[in-house]
Amino acid sequence: MKNILAILLIAFSIGLSAQQKYIEHTVKPGETIESIAKAYLVTPFDIYALNPDAQRKFQPNSVLIIPNSKIKNDAIMEDSKELTGYKTHKVKRKETLYGLSKQYNISEDEIKKANRFLYSENLKKGDKLRIPRYKTIVSKQTLNNTVKKYTVQAKEGKWRIAYKFGISVADLEALNPSMNETIQPGDELNVPNIHDQEEKEIESTFGYYEVLPKEGFYRLQIKLNLTQEQLETLNPELKETGLKAGMVLKVPETVDTLSALDTVETTNLKGSLSNFKTKKIALMMPYRLDKIDVDAVAKTKDMMKDNRLLSTVLDFHVGVTMALDSAKQLGISTDLKVFDTRYHIAETGKILAENDFSDYDAIIGPMQDESFSRVAMALKGDNVPVIAAMIKPKDILSNVFQTLPEEKLMRKAMIDFVKADSLKTKVVIISDHEHRESSESLQKMFPNSKLIFSRYDKKNKSKDAFFVYHAELKNVFSSGKTIVFLETDNYSFSTSVISMLNGFVDKQTEIVLTTLNKGKAFEGKDVDNNNLSNLKFHYASIHKDFDETKSNGFVEKYRKEYGVSPSKYVARGFDITLDLLMRLASAENLYDASSDTIETEYIENKFRYTKTLFGGYINQAVYIVKYDNLRIVEAKQ
């Protein structure tokens, strides 16, 4: 019997070797099936198919049979540059870094690296620059993960190319360490050397979603409302590979891949604290100390009162220091370094040039968008998280954490809140013509709703007069509850409508006012808060007011120290910093502690981060608040 099995095994082995070549791999300590599969550009399924025992017994020094990868192993020609010296260039009038880079056929960054003062100063006439000179070396290389060159086409971003070649965005970045954050048409990238017919096409009639770490089919069914079977039908390779973090999936166009999970329970991180290494944090704020005369106390006090930016920064700073104290009581120690950006990008560049932030756990970044982007870009290579505490950055790089939710998410949260009650109530939409398109879209979400637009000017028929007649609203409201969306940025229009709506409220008629865009049109001396309370005004907000009726150690401590209640900026500084420190203490790093299953809440703010398809993390946690007896409180269904 043994001889027969041996003969069959030999015959099987000969048959295999005739079809394709196989590699024997001895498992090293620390390796996993996934890491080995990635090294040979095959799938874990491929390895398990030839090594079924590996599913039960996988240990160092065991030998695995690795199948031949689909990727061709052809040698490629690789260019590299070798520095041979420098040429001196004296800057002339109107010369720019861009022009010099084209003149000498090198990048602007290469010029800056050779002249480090350019990171903090602008180029000016008379500057003597060192221009690096290179020679090109052409070599023939065969890589373990063999690649080919691919030219980026119009409208292609990282995720599109990753999907096209069946790899994750992280894999694409690993193949191209010098790739820019935003790639441009014409850029040449390294990609897997698969056959052209194996490349996947991007279809405009579908949406695409990047799988996050630790996401399984059950998680995606809750998030995307798609079953495993539906996902595998759209992405047949899933049947072989399973889900992998970073892979890009094709999903129906109607699936909202950016919205948050509907219900996530608040997480108390106190029970998860395990990493008690001292946290190294930098706080970069525009204190503008160069503008303050410490010897002129009265003048400085007046400046603090009149300068809204300075007042905001100082309030935020107080909140940060209070959070450090609270974290210390939980056993979390912090090494905080404070930097004055002076609200100037050149000063921010100087801070970056003079300090090494590569080993910092996080940076609470500048309030100026350009300065914030400079910091995020500079620290992206070291994977240092940069926290956008008070702004929404233009570029959400992979190391950026945006704490302010997007407007799109806040509008969706308000619509979902109303929808949960829409079967029991009537909906009316009152809008000016500037918001016509969004209001018409809103009406489609509530098919039985009534839409009323503001009147045009009698003399100029194309000009919005920003008013509605009292008679237009008189017969709209009957007994029972009606929800009114008021969509406008016009202050006079909002005040007149709010006043009219308040006049229709009686014992039989309940009107609940809301809006998708609470701007300055709902604030000011002519907006009567009594009317807003009477209309139970609801809106989506990034924060809520702390509850005055409940005991609150943070508020009590602040009042004892300063004699007044803390502003929303004090609370925000406290909430962001305490959340940051507790997340860092509950995991190895901030990325591991920022799964979208973790929602935290503190004094006035809550946080639940979701990784975007194109880069970093955005807070998805939103409050629905309402006016209640002249107080703003969280609204519950």
Q: Is residue 393 part of a domain?
A: yes
Are 431 and 514 members of one domain?
A: yes
Domain boundary among 141, 159, 193: 141
Alpha helices (H) in 355-469, listed in sequence order: 369-380, 407-419, 436-445
pLDDT tens for 601-616 read 999 999 999 888 668 9
Are 374 and 412 members of one domain?
A: no
Query: Residue 300: which pLDDT band, with cuts at 50, 70 and 90?
Result: low
Are 537 and 569 members of one domain?
A: no
CA angle 391, 596, 33 (to 5 degrees): 125
Structure tokens at 541: 């907000």
pLDDT of residue 388: 97
Are 283 and 398 members of one domain?
A: yes
pLDDT of residue 22: 66
Closest CA to 153 of 166, 164, 139: 164
Query: Residue 216: which pLDDT band, with cuts at 50, 70 and 90?
Result: confident
Are 326 and 426 members of one domain?
A: no
Q: What is the CATH number of the domain that holds 604?
A: 3.40.50.2300
Q: Is residue 630 part of a domain?
A: no
pLDDT of residue 293: 56
H or E segment to which residue 514 belongs: strand 509-514
Min mean pLDDT across 147-161, 433-447, 562-576 is at 147-161
Average pLDDT over residues 183-187: 82
Q: Is residue 552 part of a domain?
A: no
pLDDT of residue 109: 82
- Which of 187-196, 255-264, 574-583 has maximum average pLDDT? 574-583
pLDDT tens for 61-96 read 888 888 766 554 444 455 567 778 889 999 998 888
Min mean pLDDT across 1-5, 171-175, 183-187, 408-412 is at 1-5
Q: Is residue 175 part of a domain?
A: no
Cα 94 from Cα 91, distance rounded (Å): 9
Per the CB < 8 A criterion, the answer to whether 618 and 612 are in contact is yes
Q: Is residue 239 part of a domain?
A: no
Alpha helices (H) in 563-630, listed in sequence order: 568-585
Are 578 and 510 members of one domain?
A: no
Structure tokens at 333: 């120690």
Query: Residue 584: which pLDDT band, with cuts at 50, 70 and 90?
Result: very high
E strands present in 268-358: 279-285, 334-340
Q: What is the CATH number of the domain that holds 480?
A: 3.40.50
Q: What is the 3-state secondary structure (H, E, C) of 108-160?
A: HHHHHHHCHHHHCCCCCCCCEEEEEEEEEEEEEECCCCCEEEEECCCCCCHHH
Closest CA to 404 of 384, 421, 389, 424: 389
Cα 388 from Cα 371, distance rounded (Å): 11
Residue 331 has pLDDT above 60, yes or no: yes
pLDDT of residue 2: 41
Are 44 and 134 members of one domain?
A: no
Mean pLDDT (the chain) is 83
Are 103 and 57 members of one domain?
A: no
Are 36 and 98 members of one domain?
A: no
DSSP 88: E
Q: Is residue 447 part of a domain?
A: yes
Average pLDDT over residues 195-220: 76
Domain count, the chain: 4
Residue 132 has pLDDT above 50, yes or no: yes
Residue 294 has pLDDT above 60, yes or no: no
Residue 11 has pLDDT above 60, yes or no: no
Higher-pLDDT residue of 192 and 265 is 192
pLDDT of residue 119: 75
pLDDT of residue 296: 52
Query: Residue 459: which pLDDT band, with cuts at 50, 70 and 90?
Result: confident
pLDDT of residue 276: 92
Q: Express as a percent the part of the chain with pLDDT over 90.
A: 38
Please report how the helices 308-329 and 553-562 are oriented relative to each other, as an axis angle in degrees rounded to 10.
130
Residue 12 has pLDDT above 50, yes or no: no
Domain boundary among 97, 115, 141: 141
Are 425 and 327 members of one domain?
A: no
H or E segment to which residue 431 belongs: strand 426-431
Query: Residue 17: which pLDDT band, with cuts at 50, 70 and 90?
Result: very low
Query: Residue 542: which pLDDT band, with cuts at 50, 70 and 90?
Result: very high
Backbone angles phi, psi at 310, to 5 degrees: -65, -40
Average pLDDT over residues 592-605: 90
Are 343 and 298 members of one domain?
A: yes
pLDDT tens for 26-63 read 888 878 887 887 777 776 766 776 777 777 778 888 88
Q: Is residue 202 part of a domain?
A: no
Are 412 and 524 members of one domain?
A: yes
67 forms bridges with which residues in the sheet? 22
H or E segment to which residue 312 belongs: helix 308-329
Cα 100 from Cα 335, distance rounded (Å): 42
Domain boundary among 498, 525, 541: 541
Query: Residue 325: which pLDDT band, with cuts at 50, 70 and 90?
Result: very high
pLDDT tens for 230-253 read 999 998 888 877 887 778 888 887
Higher-pLDDT residue of 512 and 257 is 512
Q: What is the CATH number of the domain that holds 65?
A: 3.10.350.10
- Range of 34's domain? 22-69
Residue 21 has pLDDT above 60, yes or no: no
Amino acid occupying residue 372: F
Per the CB < 8 A criterion, the answer to whether 454 and 432 are in contact is yes
Q: Is residue 505 part of a domain?
A: yes
